[in-house]
Amino acid sequence: MLCDEDVETFWRNGVVCLRGVLPAEWTERLAVAVEEVIEARDGTDLSAMASQIDSGGGKVLRDAPVPGAPRGRFFGGTDHWRRHQAFRDFALASPLPRLVAGLLRSRRVTLYEDSLLVKEPGTPERTAFHQDMAYFHVTGDQVCTTWCPLDQVSVETGAVQYVRGSHLWTTEFRPNFFVSTDAIPGTEGEPVPDVAAEPDRYDIVSFESGPGDVVVHHARTIHGAAGNASATRRRRAISVRYCGDDARFHRRPGAPLKPWQEHAREGDPLGSEDSPVAFAGA
């Protein structure tokens, strides 16, 4: 399922789209689990968070309303693998970890987290351009995010846009509030460039994709997305983040900590029950 060209593309561009690499039984099972999570409100209403940022004087990124569509909601959440067996199985027992090991050229792959990202039809909130590594308490070059759509995704519904080659930039960037370019207070680094305001300055690529496809980007690759401009089609996706052989714990000031990270030591390797081994080669 993985060829040398895929690996070379990943390391050259910082992102690669793998077509048809997930069997239908995995995405179908996960789609059912996602609906259960949404129904249980096991996550964050990012549209409501955007309104709170608005009221506090922050800068929220929104597209124009979609004619004829109700105002949609941007819903997300992390670490569902800890609470839902379907998410855990997807992160640890699906083809994903083996694919990631090949792309990262890593003997071993550990799970860092998963993230649910749902933009209902008519959702105006944009995903601000950001760099995943800025949120991760980890260092190393073998770190990536897999983006697995559960619907047919197009530019209209909010396909993710990636700045090719940005994983090679040496600048450390600050994490933002995801629906806003405002940086999280107390974090270190430079503001992420306003890619959306000057798209012609950057080499931007996006992929129309669907269930079974997986887009994998390096944790340092700058990326963002528009809202969902469709009046009828959803955009559901699950991201799973993995670390390879050279990844080590590294505390980033101001970035939100997971409970287990409160007591982790600088330079610790990953691979505990809180960051389980997902794949180990011979």
Higher pLDDT pick, 18 / 69: 18
CB 97 within 8 A of CB 209: no
* pLDDT of 67: 86
How far apart, in whole angstroms, are the C-alpha atoms of residue 125 and residue 119? 9
* pLDDT of 1: 76
CB 14 within 8 A of CB 162: yes
One-letter identity of residue 281: G
How far apart, in whole angstroms, are the C-alpha atoms of residue 280 and residue 282? 7
Instruction: Specify the DSSP class assigned to residue 153.
Output: B
Is 70 exceeded by the pLDDT of residue 282? Answer: no
Q: Which residues contact 108 (CB under 8 A, 6 or more apart)?
A: 101, 244, 245, 271, 277, 279, 280, 281
CB 71 within 8 A of CB 65: yes
**pLDDT digits 0-9 by tens, 20-47:** 999 999 999 999 999 999 999 999 999 9
How far apart, in whole angstroms, are the C-alpha atoms of residue 116 and residue 38? 10
**pLDDT digits 0-9 by tens, 81-114:** 999 999 999 999 999 999 999 999 999 999 999 9
**pLDDT digits 0-9 by tens, 134-148:** 999 999 999 999 999
pTM score, two decimals?
Answer: 0.96
Is 80 exceeded by the pLDDT of residue 250? Answer: yes
Residues counted in the chain: 282
CA distances from 271 to 51, 216, 276 (A): 38, 21, 5
What integer best gives the mean pLDDT of the chain? 96
Domains of the chain by range and CATH? 4-280 (2.60.120.620)
* pLDDT of 232: 94
**Residue 66 pLDDT class (50, 70, 90 cuts):** confident
How far apart, in whole angstroms, are the C-alpha atoms of residue 277 and residue 70? 43
Instruction: Specify the DSSP class assigned to residue 189.
Output: S
**Residue 238 pLDDT class (50, 70, 90 cuts):** very high
CB 123 within 8 A of CB 47: yes
- Backbone phi and psi for residue 213, each to the nearest 5 degrees, phi listed first: -85, 155
Burial-class residue 196 by CB neighbours within 10 Å (0-12, 13-18, 19+): middle
**pLDDT digits 0-9 by tens, 123-175:** 999 999 999 999 999 999 999 999 999 999 999 999 999 999 999 999 999 99
What residues does 163 pair with on adjacent strands? 204
